[in-house]
Each structure stands twice: as structure tokens, then as C-alpha cells.
Chains A and B, each alone.
Chain A
Amino acid sequence: MLSPNWTMLKELAAHRLGQIGLAIVAIYGILAVLGPVVFTVDPSAVAGGERYLGPSLQYPFGTDGYGRDIFALTILGARVSLYVAVVVVGISTTLGIIFGLISAYFSDLVDEAIMRAVDVLLAFPGILLALVIIAILGPGLNRAVLALAIAYTPIMTRIVRGNALAIREEEYVLAAKSYGESHWRILFREMLPNLTSVVIVQMTITFAFSILSEASLSYLGLSAQPPQVTWGVLISEGQSVIGIAPWVSVFPGLTIMFTVLGLTLLGVALRDVLDPQGEVNMTQDI
């Protein structure tokens, strides 16, 4: 298990897009985890700084209407986005693997039930499924996260099932059945290890797009509520003063763009390395 993974890491490090992606993701990760410790800002307090200051050495992203350092706020937003993405990816991947594997392995009724449920959920295009769930739960960061997790689960389910269906026909799965391996072990010891490539690639992509989607939801006022700071909230605040202080919106937006770019580049590179025949399914900005 160790040696091929080591080669894959090396291949990834040699992949040009992978290098860019890795670099961006690394900066994002470090800033999101450690940044708020270094660049402290209290989002609920009115800072002593001057309002609507343009970008400068002291305030690289400028200040907002409360005189807060937008750079520090953006980093705070990065931490929230990291939280959102980790939870959404964690839930949707776990559920997607379970449903997808079960659906592929036990065909007929179970498969039918799961796949029709997936069909119905995917019939809600884009962000609409998240809106339905928020309509029930009400707005809020954690509710938005839950809504996104539910919305991304059918996508992961479908991808896992599609690949698992092919693996189910592999002769080593038949061999395992023929020497009496249990269903459980066939699913998780024989099939799942051969799905890791697809799942890892999909996780990266879900990571990227859940950040994007949460930003949309909080821009619409359906996710985190002020004074909690997210990238979407910052952009929304900045839109009203776009004429006098464009930096309030511009910088958080650029940050989202580069973060998502880094993650999707990493996804493409991972696909190249792990699953050369596959194609990254990019149509999931919900």
C-alpha cells in the first residue's frame, strides 16, 4: 500500500498543474488554520481603524464600513469556509460511499430505491435542493452546511455506484465470493480500496464547490448571519458600497476564486495521477 502511494505523491509533485494547485491549497490551509491566530480581528466589535480605507501596507485589502481590516476578516472567512467544506465533504463522502456501494452491490430493489431517490434529488437543479432544505430548516451557517451535505450526497452516490458497478464485475470479486467472503468484507475490503482514486478526486472537487456554494448562500443571506463573517457575507456587505469602496467586495471574491481554482487544479492533477482514464465531473457548482 505504501509504495504506490509514494510514487503517486511524487508524480503529483511533478505535475505542473498539481504544483500550482498544491501551492494554493497549502497557503489556503495554513492561513485558514493559523491565520486567525496571527491576524486577530473581532468581527462583532467596531474596530478603531478608519472606515473605507483603500488597500495599503497596513491593510493590504483595505478596511470596511466598521473600520475592520478586510484581510483579517478574509482569513477569518477562510476558516469558516474550511469548516464548511470539511463537514460537507465528510458527510457527503461517507453517505455517498455507503449508498453507492450498497446500491451497486445489491442490485434490484435496493439499487432501484436508492437510485430513484438520487434521481429525484438531482432533479432539483443547482442550488435549488439546498434552498428547499433551508426553506424547511431556516437560514443559518450550520443549516446551510447540512443542506449542502445533503445536496452533494446524491452526486457522490452516483459516482461511487457507477464505478462500483464496474468493479463488481471484476473476477476478483467473484473469487472472493467463491471462497465464502462475507458481503461486508467484499464491499469494504475488496471493492472500496479500488474506488479510492475516484473518491479522492471527487472529494477534492466537492471541497471546491461546497466553498463556492456556501459563499452563494451566505451572499443571499441564507447561511451565516452577520456579525459572523464569511466570504459571501463580506461580498454582500461590499456590494452596497461598491462605488466608494470596491475593495470590500473585490478581495474576498478574488480569494474565493483562487481557492476554488487551486482545489480544482489539484483535482485535475489527482485525476491524472490516480485515475488516468477518468474524467473529472465539474458540473456541480450547486
Chain B
Amino acid sequence: MSKKSILEVRDLHTQFETDSGVVKAVDGVSFSLQQGEIYGLVGESGAGKSVTGRSIMRLIDPPGNITDGTVRFNDENLLTLPMAEVRDIRGNEIAMIFQNAMAALNPGYTIGTQISDVLQRHKDFNDKQARERTIQLLSDVGIPDPEARFDSYPHQLSGGMCQRVVIAMALSCDPDIIIADEPTTALDVTIQAQILELLSDLRDNYGITVLLITHNMGVVASTCDRVGVMYAGEVVEEGPVQDIVAKPRHPYTMGLMQAVPRLNDARERLESIPGDMPNLLKTPNGCSFHPRCPYDAEDCRNVDPSLDPLSPDDRSTERRTACLRTDEIDFDREMAEMATEADGKEGSPKPKIPNRGRTDSDPLIEASNLQKYFDPESQSWLDRLIGEREYVHAVDDVSLDIYEGETLGLVGESGCGKTTLGRVLSHLYEPDAGTVVYAGTDLTELDRRKLKSMRGNIQMIFQDPVSSLNPRKSVYEIISRPLEIHQNIADEVARRERVEELLDSVGLKPEHASRKPHAFSGGQKQRIGIARALAVEPDFIVADEPVSALDVSIQAKIINLLMDLQEEFNLTYVFIAHDLNVVQHIADRIAVMYLGEIIECGDADDIFTPPHHPYTEMLLSSIPPLDPSAETDRIVPRGTPPSPIDPPSGCRFHTRCPRAMEECKSVVPADHQFGEDHTITCHLFDDDRDHAEINALIAEQEAYGVPKDQLVDSD
């Protein structure tokens, strides 16, 4: 790799003046991009990474202000250049792409026009040349049928396709640098893998330097060459990616690495970083991480550490860290401890972790042949009367047993129906067909009154900490209302006592009861939501993406809390998530959903090591590995999920399946019992296929599947 620095950011300061004071979003950031590398800027929300990216492009609007620093590009300081010259550089020499590609494209013009416009803005192209070049670009970024797509409007494309269009736009003028701000965050993991692959290809084929801004450690580890870790507006550590991941030299980086759940450390407690991100209005004196740092010392509270190179005897001089106590802390021992805990005995087969649920007893919940269809949003009553009625096949003929005390993980891409299934199981939605039998009682047959009392046994935890609490009510009102309904605690004093007890069990304080939700951080809000679910002393909880809106360090705490509570109150969970790492970490059994159907279900270990169903395999190989050295023959997933309004015939997965056979297109596959309590719905496992063939298949999968020691980040 050439060491030529192409962009140099020095001592960048960007502030926002708000009513409540000055927010120092970027507070003295320095780093440089080297020709042809992918540099990752990683951090949790509020770290200032996006503002850094925008500051480089001078895209800061009032009340924001770049107050200090230099951005050197081609011997010019971008921050003092006249605006007209900056505009000539934007999109031409430095291009930027954003998180939400669909919103980044003008809905009023075709994608072809928009790319051509950029070309004609910076290059001397006539219409015909621009069109040709645009079609070439669309084809370069892997858009099928680029000629026809030229005239498509953004809303006619999926989110992943739109991101490809924006990347094509960024490529159009052969820029030196692309700044990619969370380019895959809004996308499903399968699509994310495709986009990351594309970005790597661009670097390899065109020598483009990429500044990749992300919160996802896995994305960084699998894609970047060098990494800067940001915290509270500062870069706290920088270095080659393998060093950052394996040998962090800053307590924050280490905390992040330990908080990330990985595929093979099932059901261990996750390490978590105490406390929350500091309020950027008044960042702590000294090292901004000290209030959360386990190695906090007197000095740390007074001296703001600068980002200094590690001692020269370290493997690389490129390593820089901003910690006063780097030399005193034995980072490697800490990381090694974690690694041994996680890996168990390397090489030997992983001991099978016993399922906590009693699979031998009768299931707590028996769901059979559940079906739930919705009317498409665009279909009005008139269409239903006159037109051919269409349905969104959200849940289609799903049968599932859930055993007392276990955690069943429900995974799949967005739109696969996992949320709907969760709501049918908790009887928030009435199924169109099928039954949910809870401890011997058929919920679908209950009358209103009995159903209401049954609701005391079944609860939900929701995804969005903001939306799940009524902003007009105090925490006390929120938690005490279910108590009033189900526990018949008429006594106000007793109720208050119970609320405080519940707050205590989720790690909050009694005085929190009188506050309104807006006074709490995301993680705390999620705790309140959990306390509300616990209030009625349920046996069964459906947790719908309970951690996906939270930062990694907070996420770990909530997962730990959920696991502790399960043990304490003997709860049964259905845990819905799109993030395989999280699910695998917490679940005893896992059900994989695709387009409204469960295509594989079994013990967590059986599902992933190795993966059997081609879709499970695709999901798993989409996860960016946390170990940068892991050379995997990853299967880059194909295509996007088809519309659930008109699911494909035969096996619904056949349109994307790398192993699709002729019969998959027409014949609906049957469920196959595979091993103990492991069901697969796939023609590959049809009985008439010979067993040797199946074993060979599995061996093949094991051979090129997922590395055993794969460490993976959560989203």
C-alpha cells in the first residue's frame, strides 16, 4: 500500500449553537487518508463521525459552524477555499454518499438524469456521451439491465438498488475520494454484504480512497484497512484494522470489542461499558471517557489526553491512542481472557449447550398453521370490491412449538413476517387461520373477558424506545396501569411499592418513577418498557427487536438484563431480531423466516454450525466477520426478497437460492425432520435423495461455510 497521504484532517472543530448551549460535535479531530485505502471512522451515535464527514465537504449548515482546523487536499485547505471552488471539488474529486439512498435521490427525476446531471456539471459531456457513460456506470455498480433502468424513478427501485445508483453517481467523475456515511445501515444484512463487496471492488479496481463512516464494528473489520475510533467528538484510537480489533490500546475500543456479541459465545454474559455517552453540551473535564472507564485515575479527570503514537517497539508506528494509562493497562490479557471465554477449546467440537427449555415436556405454546394476511396499503375498499383482491402474505401456514423456560429466536430479513408472527403469538393480532394454544388453552377461541385475563400471562417488549412509552405519562403511570388491570392492587401504596420493586429489578431507581419518558436515555427507556412487561408477572414474553435501536455498549446491557430476568422469573421468550449474532447469543432454539414461512427451525447450535438451509447459509455468510484476517469464501447473497404480495411459486426462496433445482420452481417443499428437533423445509433434504448425497452436501457446507472463530458485530 502506498503511503501517500491524499487527504489530511488536522485539529477539526465543528460546533452547533443550540438554545441550551454549544454542542461540540467534533472537538479536535485529526487523521489522514492514504491513497487507495478504505479508512473506517467508527463510533456510537453522537460520536461526531458523520459531522466529521460533512465538515470535510463543508456541508455544515447553521446553527453548525466549523470553528477551527484544516482539511488539506491537493495542497489546498478545503476549509478556507472559496465556496465556488469547493463546489467544483464536490462530486468531482471528493464524492459523498449517505445512509438513506432512497431519500438521497430526487423523486422527480429518473436516476439516469440525475447521474448525467452530475457528469455534465463537472465534465464537458454532451447528452449522448453522458447517457452512455451513465449506462456504463450503472452496469459497473451491478445494476441489471442498465439501459432500461436509466429511465427508472428512485421509488421504483429497492433501497439496495438506490444505494448502488448513488454509488454510481459518486463514481461518475472518477473522484479520488468517496466519503460513505453509514452506507449500509438502512439495509438488510444480505444487501449490506452486496454493497460492502461493491465498495471493496471499487477500491481494488479504480484505486479510489474510501472514508467509511459506520457504527458497525463488523463492517469496519471486514472492509477497512485502517480505523479511527471516535468517542464524544474525538478520535481516541487509530491504527490498522487487525490491531484495533484484536489488540485495542484504548479502554473504550476494548469495551466496544467486548460488548459485541459473537457467533460462538452463546449465552455468556456480555461485557458492557457502564454509563451512557456524555452529553456533548458539557463533555467531562480531562479524558471524556473517564466517567465510564474502568481504569479511571486521578489524572484522567484533569488531563485531556492527546492522540499519540504508541511506543516504537510496538509492531507498527501507525498506531495512535489517546489514553494516559496505555502503558499501565494490560490490554492483551483482558482481550485474551475474553477470547478464551469465547472460543472454548479451540479445535475440539464445541460442547453442546443444553437447552434451558424443557423440550421433553409439553410445549407452553403450540402454534399450528397460523396465517395472517394484510391488505396492501395502497389497496382501498373500492379495489377490494371491484378489483382482484391482493394480500400481503405476512404469515403463511406457520406451525411452531415453544417450550417453557426457553428462548426461541426468530430471524429473517425485513418484511419476512417475523414481527407479525410475534404479534399473532402474543395475540395482539387475531390470526386469519390456525390456532395458538397457550398452556392448553386455545387463545383463538377465548371470549373477550377470558382473553383479557390471559393477557396477563403474555407480554411484549418493543423495538423503539421512544415510541414504546407514552410521552404524556409518568413512568409510574406507565408501569402501574397493567398492575391495576391484572393484579387488582387497589391500594395505591402497595402499587407504588410494586412499581419501585420492578424499577429495581430492571436496574432503575425508585425516584425515576415520577419522571416522564423524555428524561431518559434510550437504554433506560428500554428498561422501563421491560419493567412494564414484567409488571403483570407474565410467563411468556415476545421481544420484538428489543436492542436493534440501541448502541452496542447499551445493547449488551439490555441483553444481559433480559437473560438475568429470564433466569429469575423463569420466563419464556420469543426473541425477534434481524441480527443473527444477537439472536444466536441469546436463543436456545432458532426459527428462520423467509417471506412469511419458517424455513428452518432447531437448536441454535444445529442451525448455524454448519448452516443447512441455503437461506440460513446466505444470511450467515452476509454477516461481516469481525476478524479481518478471516479469509472466507463468502457467498455474496443474490437479489432482494420478492414482494410478499405475490410470493414465488414452489419454494419461495428459489428465486435467490444458489442451489435452486428445477423442482424448486414448482413444488412446495415439505418439512423434513433432520436430526433431533430440527426441521428444514427444502428440497435438498427430500427423502428420495440419497443420504450420502446429503452428508456430502453438509460436509461441503462445513468446508466452505463460516469459520469457527468468526467474531461478528451486531448491527
Query: A and B touching (C-beta < 8 Å)?
Result: yes
Please give the residue numbers on chain A whose beta carbons come within 8 Å of chain B beta carbons, in ascending order.
1, 4, 108, 112, 170-172, 174-181, 190, 193-194
25 contacts between A and B (CB under 8 A): A108-B381, A112-B381, A170-B468, A170-B470, A171-B462, A172-B467, A174-B460, A175-B468, A175-B532, A176-B481, A177-B428, A178-B426, A178-B428, A178-B455, A178-B460, A179-B459, A179-B532, A179-B535, A179-B536, A180-B453, A180-B482, A180-B485, A190-B470, A193-B470, A194-B470
Known: A170-B468, A174-B462, A180-B453. 14 other contacts (CB 8 A): A4-B516, A112-B381, A170-B470, A171-B462, A171-B463, A172-B470, A175-B462, A175-B529, A178-B455, A179-B456, A179-B459, A179-B486, A180-B451, A181-B485
> Do B428 and A174 touch (CB < 8 A)?
yes
Beyond A112-B381, A171-B463, A175-B529, is A180–B455 a contact (Cβ under 8 Å)? Answer: yes
> Do A171 and B464 touch (CB < 8 A)?
yes
> Do A194 and B458 touch (CB < 8 A)?
no
Task: Return the CB mask of B416-456 against A: 1 if under 8 Å, else 0.
Answer: 00000001001010000000000000000000000111011
Docked CA distance A179–B487 (Å): 11
Contact of B456 among A1, A171, A180 (CB under 8 A): A180
Docked CA distance A189–B233 (Å): 42
The 10 closest A-B pairs by CB, nearest first: A180-B455, A171-B468, A171-B462, A179-B482, A193-B472, A180-B452, A172-B470, A171-B467, A178-B460, A170-B467
> Do A181 and B481 touch (CB < 8 A)?
yes
Beyond A171-B463, A171-B467, A174-B460, is A179–B455 a contact (Cβ under 8 Å)? Answer: yes
Docked CA distance A166–B683 (Å): 43
Beyond A170-B467, A175-B468, A193-B472, is A180–B486 a contact (Cβ under 8 Å)? Answer: yes
Residues of B within 8 A of A190 (CB): 470
Which of the listed residues B453, B462, B463 has the most CB atoms from chain A within 10 Å of its own CB? Answer: B462
Residues of A within 8 A of B451 (CB): 180
Does any Cβ of A come within 8 Å of B196's Cβ? Answer: no
Interface residues of B in 126-179 (CB under 8 A from A): none
Residues of B within 8 A of A112 (CB): 381
Residues of A within 8 A of B458 (CB): 178
Residues of B within 8 A of A181 (CB): 481, 485
Does any Cβ of A come within 8 Å of B471's Cβ? Answer: yes
Interface residues of B in 506-547 (CB under 8 A from A): 516, 529, 532-533, 535-536
Docked CA distance A175–B455 (Å): 11
Residues of B within 8 A of A4 (CB): 516
Does any Cβ of A come within 8 Å of B469's Cβ? Answer: yes
Residues of B within 8 A of A171 (CB): 462-464, 467-468
Docked CA distance A180–B533 (Å): 12
Q: Closest residue of chain B to A169, judged by CB? A: B467
Residues of B within 8 A of A174 (CB): 423, 428, 460, 462
Docked CA distance A181–B451 (Å): 11
Docked CA distance A176–B469 (Å): 10
Q: Closest residue of chain B to A108, judged by CB? A: B381
> Do A194 and B485 touch (CB < 8 A)?
no
Q: How many residues of B contact A (CB 8 A)?
A: 33
Q: How far is the CB of B525 from chain A (nearest CB, A)?
A: 11
Docked CA distance A176–B459 (Å): 10
> Do B516 and A172 touch (CB < 8 A)?
no
> Do B472 and A1 touch (CB < 8 A)?
yes
Contact of B472 among A108, A175, A176, A194 (CB under 8 A): A194
Task: Return the CB mask of B463-492 against A: 1 if under 8 Å, else 0.
Answer: 110011111110000100110011000000
Residues of A within 8 A of B470 (CB): 170, 172, 190, 193-194
Q: How far is the CB of A159 from chain B (nearest CB, A)?
A: 19
Q: Closest residue of chain B to A196, judged by CB? A: B472
Please give the residue numbers on chain B whose beta carbons come within 8 Å of chain A beta carbons, in ascending order.
381, 423, 426, 428, 451-453, 455-456, 458-460, 462-464, 467-473, 478, 481-482, 485-486, 516, 529, 532-533, 535-536
Contact of B471 among A177, A179, A180, A194 (CB under 8 A): A194
Docked CA distance A1–B516 (Å): 9
Beyond A4-B516, A172-B470, A193-B472, is A179–B485 a contact (Cβ under 8 Å)? Answer: yes
Residues of A within 8 A of B456 (CB): 179-180
Residues of A within 8 A of B516 (CB): 4
Residues of A within 8 A of B468 (CB): 170-172, 175
Residues of A within 8 A of B453 (CB): 180
Residues of B within 8 A of A194 (CB): 470-472
Residues of B within 8 A of A177 (CB): 428
Q: Closest residue of chain A to B453, judged by CB? A: A180
> Do B460 and A175 touch (CB < 8 A)?
yes
Q: Closest residue of chain B to A190, judged by CB? A: B470
Q: Closest residue of chain B to A174, judged by CB? A: B428
Residues of A within 8 A of B469 (CB): 172
Docked CA distance A194–B518 (Å): 14
Which of the listed residues A108, A172, A174, A194 has the most CB atoms from chain B within 10 Å of its own CB? Answer: A172
Docked CA distance A171–B516 (Å): 16
Residues of A within 8 A of B485 (CB): 179-181
Docked CA distance A190–B516 (Å): 14
Q: Closest residue of chain A to B461, judged by CB? A: A175
Residues of B within 8 A of A172 (CB): 467-470, 478
Docked CA distance A172–B465 (Å): 10
> Do B459 and A178 touch (CB < 8 A)?
yes
Q: How far is the CB of A168 from chain B (nearest CB, A)?
A: 11
Q: Closest residue of chain B to A116, judged by CB? A: B381
Q: How far is the CB of A171 from chain B (nearest CB, A)?
A: 4
Q: Closest residue of chain A to B380, judged by CB? A: A112
Residues of A within 8 A of B482 (CB): 179-180
Docked CA distance A177–B452 (Å): 9
Docked CA distance A126–B458 (Å): 51
Residues of A within 8 A of B464 (CB): 171
Which of the listed residues B426, B459, B472, B486 has the most CB atoms from chain A within 10 Å of its own CB? Answer: B472
Q: How far is the CB of A105 from chain B (nearest CB, A)?
A: 14
Q: Closest residue of chain A to B423, judged by CB? A: A174
Docked CA distance A108–B380 (Å): 9
Q: Closest residue of chain B to A191, judged by CB? A: B470
Which of the listed residues B463, B470, B471, B473 has the most CB atoms from chain A within 10 Å of its own CB? Answer: B470
Docked CA distance A4–B516 (Å): 10
Q: Closest residue of chain B to A170, judged by CB? A: B467
Docked CA distance A172–B479 (Å): 12
Q: Closest residue of chain B to A109, judged by CB? A: B381
Q: How far is the CB of B135 from chain A (nearest CB, A)?
A: 40
Residues of A within 8 A of B428 (CB): 174, 177-178
Docked CA distance A4–B472 (Å): 9
Docked CA distance A176–B481 (Å): 9
Q: How far is the CB of A78 from chain B (nearest CB, A)?
A: 35
Q: How far is the CB of B391 from chain A (nearest CB, A)?
A: 14
Q: How far is the CB of B542 from chain A (nearest CB, A)?
A: 9
Residues of A within 8 A of B463 (CB): 171
Residues of B within 8 A of A175 (CB): 460, 462, 468, 529, 532-533
Residues of A within 8 A of B452 (CB): 180
Q: How far is the CB of A230 from chain B (nearest CB, A)?
A: 40
Docked CA distance A14–B282 (Å): 26
Docked CA distance A190–B532 (Å): 15
Docked CA distance A171–B463 (Å): 8
Q: How far is the CB of B447 from chain A (nearest CB, A)?
A: 13
Docked CA distance A108–B428 (Å): 18
Contact of A179 among B381, B423, B481 (CB under 8 A): B481
Docked CA distance A170–B462 (Å): 10
Docked CA distance A178–B423 (Å): 9
Residues of B within 8 A of A1 (CB): 472
Residues of B within 8 A of A108 (CB): 381
Q: How far is the CB of A204 from chain B (nearest CB, A)?
A: 20
Q: How far is the CB of A68 from chain B (nearest CB, A)?
A: 50
Which of the listed residues A108, A170, A171, A178 has the most CB atoms from chain B within 10 Å of its own CB? Answer: A178
Q: Closest residue of chain B to A173, judged by CB? A: B470
Q: How far is the CB of B470 from chain A (nearest CB, A)?
A: 4
Q: How far is the CB of B474 from chain A (nearest CB, A)?
A: 9
Docked CA distance A176–B462 (Å): 12
Q: How far is the CB of A263 from chain B (nearest CB, A)?
A: 26
Residues of B within 8 A of A180 (CB): 451-453, 455-456, 482, 485-486
